[in-house]
Amino acid sequence: MNFVSEKAKIGNNVQIGMFTIVEEDVIIGDNVIIEHHCVIKKNVIIGANTRVKNYVELRENTTVGESCTIDSRVSSSGNCKIGNNVTLRYDTIIARGVEIGDNTYVCPRVMTNNLNTSHAQIGGAKIGANCFIGTNAVLQHGITLGDNVTIGSMAFVNKDCEANATYIGIPATKKQK
């Protein structure tokens, strides 16, 4: 049993699994697979050839590019932009306002944040293209990662990271070559 709004625009050769909700004004490209128990909220766009695994929630105004893999139990808080050929591994949380560049790989259980300590929405991280974010990394609000950045597993990133560099530790610091 599914609920797919009559106001959703569904491309060709799309598969939608059991117990999945697709709300109004959703646009799903061709050859998309959405597995079971997913919630796709209003105004979400999912690009062609993307796979959305089980128990995923994509909230309002999230855009997912083409040829992406959204693994099980990934959640977006809305107003997110995910580029083309991005992989989001299981249990990752994409906070409101996060932007992820093309060809980026996000390992399991990565957490992003968009609130400061006063609970004001600062905006989510801006992640460049061709980045690699290690397992259990935390990306704080309002930071920018340049292109080709590697973030080590369990790193706590609370400052901008320059392009073509590796950052590790708590707080994350640039790894010297």
| Domains of the chain, start order | 1-73 (2.160.10.10), 99-177 (2.160.10.10)
Give every CB contact of residue 177 below 8 A, 6+ residues apart in sequence. Answer: none
**Residue 177: band (very low, low, confident or very high) from pLDDT cuts 50, 70, 90:** confident
At residue 34, the pLDDT reads 98
Token match 């990565």: residue? 110
Question: How is residue 175 annotated by DSSP?
Answer: P
- Please say whether the beta carbons of 146 and 163 come within 8 A: yes
| pLDDT tens string 105-152 | 999 999 999 877 777 777 889 999 999 999 999 999 999 999 999 999
- Please say whether the beta carbons of 166 and 150 come within 8 A: yes
**Residue 176: band (very low, low, confident or very high) from pLDDT cuts 50, 70, 90:** confident
- The count of residues in the chain is 177
| pLDDT tens string 58-101 | 999 999 999 999 999 999 999 999 999 999 999 999 999 999 99
How far apart, in whole angstroms, are the C-alpha atoms of residue 20 and residue 26? 13
> On the CB side of 99, how many CA atoms lie within 13 Å of its CA?
11
- Please say whether the beta carbons of 134 and 128 come within 8 A: no
